[in-house]
Amino acid sequence: MKSEKALFPRKFQASQGEETLRTALFARVQKIREKGELVVPVLTVTSALASALNAAERRGHLRIGLDAAEEILARERHGLQKMEKEQGLFVGKRISRLILTANDGTERFYRSVEWLARDHSPRLLVCRLDIPASELGRILFGQERNIKLLLIDHKDTVSLVLQTLIPEGKEEEE
């Protein structure tokens, strides 16, 4: 799977915006699971990224857990296929959904994430955060709560999160 070649949201199409994001996003990658094929970006959780995740939660654009992500993505895919079939509308191939996983999941969990990524490509980007599930819960809710997976299910909020990955000063160069 070639997520490194995925089309980012339009916001990043400006001159160097897409390349700057691509460089920042894929600076550190690893296989999602030892025996898997999916290579994902590994993100450092900065204060800017934590703030963007909190904003996503406040906006109602954050879904927690694998089951919720599977359900939402399947429902959206059904709707997109229906639009294409009934209305002849072209559905874009840009990243519009983002899954973020904690770094302490099981092989079975990451196999399910890998399946989701394959099933919902190219509109879904999966990244691994460099923190455990309990810390992810602390960032979002101020208390220990094991959260292994977040789905950001709105394209504008996906852009907001991705924007936090671009080093300060780089966005002015666009």
Please give the pLDDT value at position 120.
92
Q: What percent of the chain has pLDDT over 70?
A: 89
Please give the pLDDT value at position 15.
56
Q: What is the pLDDT of residues 115-130, one digit of tens each?
A: 999 999 889 999 999 9
Whole-angstrom distance, CA of residue 51 vs CA of residue 73: 24
Please give the tally of structural domains in the chain.
1
- Which residues span the domain enclosing 73? 43-118+142-166
pTM metric for this prediction = 0.90
* Residue 63 counted as domain residue: yes
Please give the pLDDT value at position 31.
96
Q: What is the pLDDT of residues 14-30, one digit of tens each?
A: 656 788 899 999 999 99
* Residue 30 counted as domain residue: no
Whole-angstrom distance, CA of residue 158 vs CA of residue 170: 19
At residue 168 the predicted structure's pLDDT band, cuts being 50, 70 and 90, is: confident
HEC secondary structure over the chain: CCHHHCECCHHHCCCCHHHHHHHHHCCCEEECCCCCCCEEEEECCCHHHHHHHHHHHHHCCEEECHHHHHHHHHHHHHHHHHHHHHHCCCCCCECCEEEEECCCCCHHHHHHHHHHHHHCCCCEEEEEECCCHHHHHHHHHCCCCCCCEEEECCHHHHHHHHHCCCCCCCHHHC
Does 172 score more than 70 pLDDT? no
* C-alpha distance across the termini of the chain, in Å: 28
Please give the pLDDT value at position 10.
81
Q: Measuring CA to CA, which residue among 8, 43, 14, 9 is closest to residue 26?
A: 43
Average pLDDT of the chain, as a whole number: 89
Q: What is the pLDDT of residues 67-99, one digit of tens each?
A: 999 999 999 888 887 877 787 666 667 899 999
Task: Give me 68's structure tokens.
Answer: 């919720």
* Residue 129 counted as domain residue: no
* Residue 33 counted as domain residue: no
